[in-house]
Structure 1
């Protein structure tokens, strides 16, 4: 299939859940997510590829050359953040579908069938905007999260994952394909590739992530009748905590750590009531676990001081801790080989953001590639990568997947098995 066909599909599906400012809003297990999933299933059906849906909502389109053989998994996710961008995740799934189609045509034209079968995957709830934690579907697949526990997770309206998947008809019961390797392409969500004018990034490792679940417990009272000295305002204390989370990065070398608070709820959320409870999630990330651990310790001390000053309780719980993941050297070499064959620049790069490739790399050798993000912007409607950069990425993913289908990461898998066998 041509680059034009890919671009037609990409820009067509960008209209699903489109927002007025050019982004998309397709949160997990919403009607918009269902429409994207229906499109994925139709793409596969047109080519005679069976589609499986597992109990956590992951979708797999199977391209089978050797009955009973294991699979190379290739894909990303179709869900988005609220008012998110149209490239994050969806680009990787659509690129994988087109790469699979090209390879299927290659074999049909007479090239020898590869060693492994191929499964294009749309992972459920990678973003975590509606249901926390993020990277849910791939983590359940990898055995890192408990499936039944994740099905019980609820959104802010009390709807569980199981109920939401049932509502859109995508809570499946199919067997999961057995993977031997995984590949994913994604926009960088940073500006390194753009700044250096490089077409492809070969992801070598992920950053360490530490989230803190923070509950601030004060006392509800009347905003107009309670003296300021008598108030135990949970929101005021929470505001202090948010400032601390932001400011702690100043204790470290520039660009060595990032932090944020992106989720906050308060009770009773009435304009004439001093808030009694605020819940927020803080996010700390760095390439070094030691940096995150030091930032966490500083925050715990400073948050305790805020609790004493405001005469209330602040409970902090570790949440969603993700260690550094190093990708196999062989996967980097494959990306570099593919880039050389295409005549485009490539560099090794780390990922500060989490991706489905990170949990998958825990169970099989994984390969991840980046293409540039204009201005490094992501998780917003202004997210942008140009058509030429996307088509180079599809070409690269196609050739990298062909390498994996022929056993390109078998040696990496054998080396991993040998290491784990000696532990």
Structure 2
């Protein structure tokens, strides 16, 4: 893999100005380097990055690639995954069919749209309580700190049956999992993993002895033709639900609100026609989606994509955010339109890897923005948009803070 001609000396995908506005770079990548060599500077790992919509869609069903790290040589597994591999490599994003088919069938039995819809009254109550807390701070406050981050961690913790007194611990563990790549961060992640696994081991044992009406008990009991999730699969799935349900939903709320405030004419459309809220949430997922890079996929053989030679066992990732600005798929892709239809974005993934938690994220976003439109008619940014800081992760896209004035 040769060095990428995309970046100036010292510049990377993780550079602050790229994090603040990656879309000009992604446009150039789609047009000139649709299969681009990328180096993660913190971990020293290389991967190929796909940015065109059709390539992102095609990758899901391309049998020349695998999501399963256990199919790789030991040296490659250790280089890319290290200590995290054994405990976390058996969830829906890291297995191929037929294991993926079996696991999704088991999990989808308990993560149903009906079960999610039953959460609506509780989510409405939580949103009201969090908004009251934000308003109690006076004429303004940080929307992310007071609302966007607490909401999804409370929802997913209650869904899993995690006791309220343990939520803060879960939030800290999750924060460490998303820490910027560095040696210090890796040590914190390692420590967080160990504490997290020990907690889940004890928690699962409790639920096996005393099942309750929660998702964890349902996952433990799930059966499909006499099959069940193994302990490793159960741990990996709960980890996936926790991380995916927390970081991405918080980013969706923060990113979406920022774009509404940056596009007052679109905000006014929503105020005048609340029926546009569902399409507005879909446009937020497309235009400023919370999840940027996919997990690693690996070539099973030597192959060629758009003139680039990819060798067996080299890593490939797709960029959902770049794909969702592809002019070959979307009319006026750089225009934010809360009424956009059709809108076949890939913000929730695609195909067999379409996000199982998408109905929950949509519900949390719908309830949140409906409440904000009703309760904060005069809300506005407390700072200029260009001064806002973005977190350094390129896997997910989210603000460091979102200060508001009411």
Check whether TM > 0.5: no
Compare CA radii of gyration and give the structure with the larger one: 1
- The TM-score normalised by the length of structure 1 is 0.27
Instruction: Please identify which structure carries the higher helix content.
Output: 2
Between Structure 1 and Structure 2, the one with more strand by share is: 1
Which structure has more RCO (C-alpha within 8 Å, separation ≥ 6)? 2
TM-score, normalised via structure 2 length? 0.28
